[in-house]
Amino acid sequence: MKLIYTHENRFLVGNAHNILEQAGIRVVWKNEFASSAIGEISPFDTWPELWVIDDSDYEQAMQIISTALSATNAPEWTCGSCNENNDAAFETCWNCQAEKQETTQ
Ligand SMILES: [Zn+2]
């Protein structure tokens, strides 16, 4: 296993977790519940961590994460083919691989 991402903001780590799972990469949390232990150990040690289970997924996972982080503020988009919601990080639908299309909302 390799550490792929860690951040003090659990929401960001959770978001990264969802994105990687949707991309078919198997990941696991570490320290998911450690924040309840703050006071005993330094906050830095309690950051949730995201690990890729299969080392061969590491480079792809890193690319997905970096793409996702650069698009953090972009809105989700809805696939025109299957109506699945896609994270802004995706350029094609995670479900049916259709090209992203600008929608008129
Ligand atoms: Zn689709």
* Three-state SS letters, 27-43: EEEECCCHHHHECCECH
| CA 23 to centroid of ligand 1, rounded, Å | 13
| CA 44 to centroid of ligand 1, rounded, Å | 39
pLDDT, residue 98, reads 93
Considering only residues 104 and 33, tell me which one the structure prediction assigns the higher pLDDT: 33
Same domain for 46 and 92?
A: no
Amino acid identity of residue 30, one-letter, is K
Same domain for 48 and 80?
A: no
Same domain for 50 and 88?
A: no
Backbone angles phi, psi at 57, to 5 degrees: -90, -5
pLDDT, residue 19, reads 92
Same domain for 34 and 83?
A: no
Same domain for 99 and 62?
A: no
pLDDT, residue 104, reads 44
pLDDT in tens, 26-78: 999 887 655 455 555 555 567 889 999 999 999 999 999 888 777 656 678 88
